């Protein structure tokens, strides 16, 4: 028998992250020059051509790991709703199954599609992650369990 999942554990099928100032502390397209390399066995740290360090915000590796463990697809998008739209076309995952984390409030417009948008106020961290999931669960309640008669 499978243990019944509580509503608290449900996850969307896809989580989309903006990159700059959501997952890391920079504009990747203007501050980084390839090729990128990793020195020794550093975790969460790679270097660009000029030795500039590129790291995710502290909580990000754990958040990504947690999503992978839960079998949730991960996608990245930057700017406008267009990338989100393409993700839907490519994956066939409905917008209602997506949570989108972004530091730019204007991208809340993706909610018109049915995506759950979560504003990242300072940086992506565990609290922000949970906030987005909680909002998605609130909007998309679990269907009643048929075996609870
Ligand atoms: Mg950004």
Tell me, in angstroms, the distance from the centre of ligand 1 to residue 115's CA: 17
Query: What do you get for the CA distance between the two ends of the chain, in Å?
Result: 16
Asked if 128 and 101 touch (Cβ cutoff 8 Å), the reply is yes
Tell me, in angstroms, the distance from the centre of ligand 1 to residue 2's CA: 40
The region that residue 107 occupies, defined by phi over 0 for left and psi between -120 and 50 for alpha, beta otherwise, is alpha
| pLDDT at position 63 over 90 | yes
Known active-site residue 127? no
Tell me, in angstroms, the distance from the centre of ligand 1 to residue 32's CA: 15
Backbone angles phi, psi at 6, to 5 degrees: -80, 160
Tell me, in angstroms, the distance from the centre of ligand 1 to residue 81's CA: 13
pLDDT score for 20: 92
| pLDDT at position 68 over 70 | yes
pLDDT score for 40: 80
Tell me, in angstroms, the distance from the centre of ligand 1 to residue 5's CA: 34
| pLDDT at position 142 over 90 | no
Q: What is the mean pLDDT of residues 110-119?
A: 93
Map residue 54 onto helix, strand or coil: strand
Known active-site residue 18? yes
Average pLDDT, the chain: 87
Query: In the structure encoding, which two tokens stand for residue 93, read together?
Result: 């995952």
Give the whole-angstrom CA distance, residue 115 versus residue 131.
15
Q: Among the options 18, 25, 102, 125, which is catalytic?
A: 18
pLDDT score for 90: 83
Asked if 107 and 117 touch (Cβ cutoff 8 Å), the reply is yes
Q: What is the mean pLDDT of residues 27-44?
A: 86
Q: What is the mean pLDDT of residues 60-75?
A: 96
Q: What is the mean pLDDT of residues 8-20?
A: 91
């Amino acid at each position: 028998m499978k243990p019944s999942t509580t509503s608290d554990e449900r996850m969307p099928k896809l989580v989309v992250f903006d990159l700059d100032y959501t997952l890391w502390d920079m504009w990747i397209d203007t501050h980084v020059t390839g090729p990128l390399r990793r020195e020794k066995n550093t975790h969460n740290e790679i270097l660009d051509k000029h030795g500039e360090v590129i790291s995710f915000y502290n909580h990000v590796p754990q958040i990504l790991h947690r999503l992978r463990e839960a079998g949730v697809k991960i996608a990245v998008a930057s700017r406008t709703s267009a990338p989100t739209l393409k993700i839907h076309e490519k994956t066939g995952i409905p917008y209602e199954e997506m949570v989108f984390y972004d530091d730019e409030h204007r991208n809340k417009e993706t909610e018109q599609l049915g995506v759950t948008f979560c504003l990242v106020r300072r940086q992506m961290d565990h609290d922000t992650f949970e906030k987005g999931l909680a909002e998605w669960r609130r909007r998309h309640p679990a269907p009643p369990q048929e075996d609870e008669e």
